[in-house]
Amino acid sequence: MKKSPLYAVTDRLNIRQFGLQDMLPFYEYRANPTVSQFQSWENFSYEDAELFVEKQMNHIPNQPGTWFQFALALADSDLLIGDCALHTPLNEPRIVEIGFTLSPEYQGHGYIHEGLKALLDYIFRTLGKHKVIAFTDVRNDKSIRVLERLGMRREGHLLQNYMSKGHWVDEYQYAILQSEWLID
Ligand SMILES: CC(C)(COP(=O)(O)OP(=O)(O)OC[C@H]1O[C@@H](n2cnc3c(N)ncnc32)[C@H](O)[C@@H]1OP(=O)(O)O)[C@@H](O)C(=O)NCCC(=O)NCCS
């Protein structure tokens, strides 16, 4: 099978492009209701997974006006265990947004922290971005802990900022500047 391009490596993870081998594990965790609880999607189907993976296999990061999804795979087996998103807005591509998801089986071991640290290095050092932001549902304690453990600052509480499962939901906006990340 063709090797998927690699964007970063950590002790336990390869952060790489999505490939066809990711279809089933991606579908399985995205369709899990505990994973979608604080996300906009519901009833994620295998066809949704196929469309998503095929699009991401042919995409490249840092294209203004698009989302790129990095696959997080175990370094030893290359098994997909999660993903991290990078949104590069059209109107201000120097400020980017991230998102992240981990398969429930692999939660509680620091994998997202490890993957996001490498991704922030890639975003600030390789892509040279000015600021990274992230939004989280105010009820999503695990996500809040991930963002604060990375040193991201809560910059806002946005009332009824997105529609989830038929209800308007509050979000926190978190952020970190390139100048803050590169001090470490
Ligand atoms: C948000 C989400 C990725 C967090 O996953 P997670 O496994 O809690 O996060 P990490 O991989 O960084 O692991 C951190 C946990 O592992 C523990 N841990 C165990 N071994 C560790 C290690 N070697 N290194 C670091 N942390 C370790 C930490 O103590 C921490 O637990 P705590 O939060 O109870 O203190 C996950 O809950 C998820 O995918 N949720 C659904 C999608 C979602 O809501 N995404 C957020 C959108 S904004």
In the chain, where the domains are located: 6-132
Pick the CATH number of 6-132 from 3.40.462.20, 3.20.19.10, 3.40.630.30, 1.10.287.180: 3.40.630.30
- Number of the ligand 1 atom closest to the C-alpha atom of 103: 39
Digitized pLDDT (tens) for each residue of the chain, 184 residues in all? 667 899 999 999 999 999 999 999 999 999 999 999 998 888 899 999 999 999 999 999 999 999 999 999 999 999 999 999 999 999 999 999 999 999 999 999 999 999 999 999 999 999 999 999 999 999 999 999 999 999 999 999 999 999 888 899 999 999 999 999 998 6
Q: Is the dihedral of CA 179, 65, 116, 42 positive or negative?
A: positive
**Distance from the alpha carbon of residue 91 to the mean position of ligand 1, in angstroms:** 32
Protein residue with least CA distance to atom 25, ligand 1: 110
CA of 1 to the centre of ligand 1 (A): 31
pLDDT of residue 164: 86
Instruction: Give the closest residue (by CA) to ligand 1 atom 14.
Output: 110
> Residue whose CA is closest, atom 7 of ligand 1?
107
Ligand 1 atom with least separation from CA of 135: 48
Query: DSSP of the chain, one letter per residue?
Result: -PPPPEEEE-SSEEEE---GGGHHHHHHHHT-HHHHTTSS--S--HHHHHHHHHHHHT--S--TTEEEEEEEEETTT--EEEEEEEEE-SS-TTEEEEEEEE-GGGTTSSHHHHHHHHHHHIIIIIS--SEEEEEEETT-HHHHHHHHHTT-EEEEEEEEEEEETTEEEEEEEEEEEHHHHTT-
Residue whose CA is at the smallest distance from ligand 1 atom 48: 136
First to last CA, the chain: 38
